[in-house]
């Protein structure tokens, strides 16, 4: 993981980079540090609930609207009670990189739906 900006770098074997903004949001909203931000971003990307895996309903509609708004198909993940917004890029060497852009909580009215669907899928 690399935290982009402010010269904070921490490389791992994964191609997931955490932007400085995302790191600040994780710190502010979840109270986690750099190493935990690395772990949670990898877990959210690999194990998070994607829109096409969700049952039809309010939660799927909410994520679909967010994906349409940010033009980020299959880059929004729900893990726990947070929504993780990723972006896929190619670096100058042509290797695909994934950046965590931001993290925000699932709306209060949809948290039970998110937890229920993740339990059915055995994510959490």
Q: What is the C-alpha separation between 56 and 81, in angstroms, rounded?
A: 18
Q: What is the C-alpha separation between 5 and 73, in angstroms, rounded?
A: 25
∠ CA 13-89-27, rounded to 5°: 65
Tally of structural domains, the chain:
1
Please classify residue 15 by burial: count the beta carbons closer than 10 Å to its beta carbon, then call 0-12 exposed, 13-18 middle and 19+ buried.
Answer: middle
pTM for the full predicted model: 0.82
How confident is the model over 1-25, as pLDDT tens digits?
445 544 333 333 367 899 999 999 9
How confident is the model over 73-102, as pLDDT tens digits?
668 999 999 999 998 888 788 888 899 999
Backbone phi, then psi, for 95, in 5-degree steps?
A: -90, 135
The domain of 18 spans 3-121
């Amino acid at each position: 993981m690399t935290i982009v900006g402010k010269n904070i770098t921490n490389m791992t074997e994964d191609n997931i980079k955490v932007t400085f903004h995302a790191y600040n949001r994780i710190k502010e909203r979840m109270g986690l540090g750099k190493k935990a931000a690395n772990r949670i971003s990898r877990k959210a990307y690999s194990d998070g609930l994607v829109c096409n895996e969700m049952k039809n309903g309010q939660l799927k509609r909410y994520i679909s609207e967010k994906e349409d708004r940010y033009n980020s198909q299959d880059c929004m993940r729900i893990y726990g009670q947070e929504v993780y917004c990723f972006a896929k890029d190619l670096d100058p060497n042509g290797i695909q990189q994934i950046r965590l852009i931001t993290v925000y909580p699932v709306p209060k009215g949809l948290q039970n739906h998110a937890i229920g669907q993740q339990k059915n899928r055995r994510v959490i």
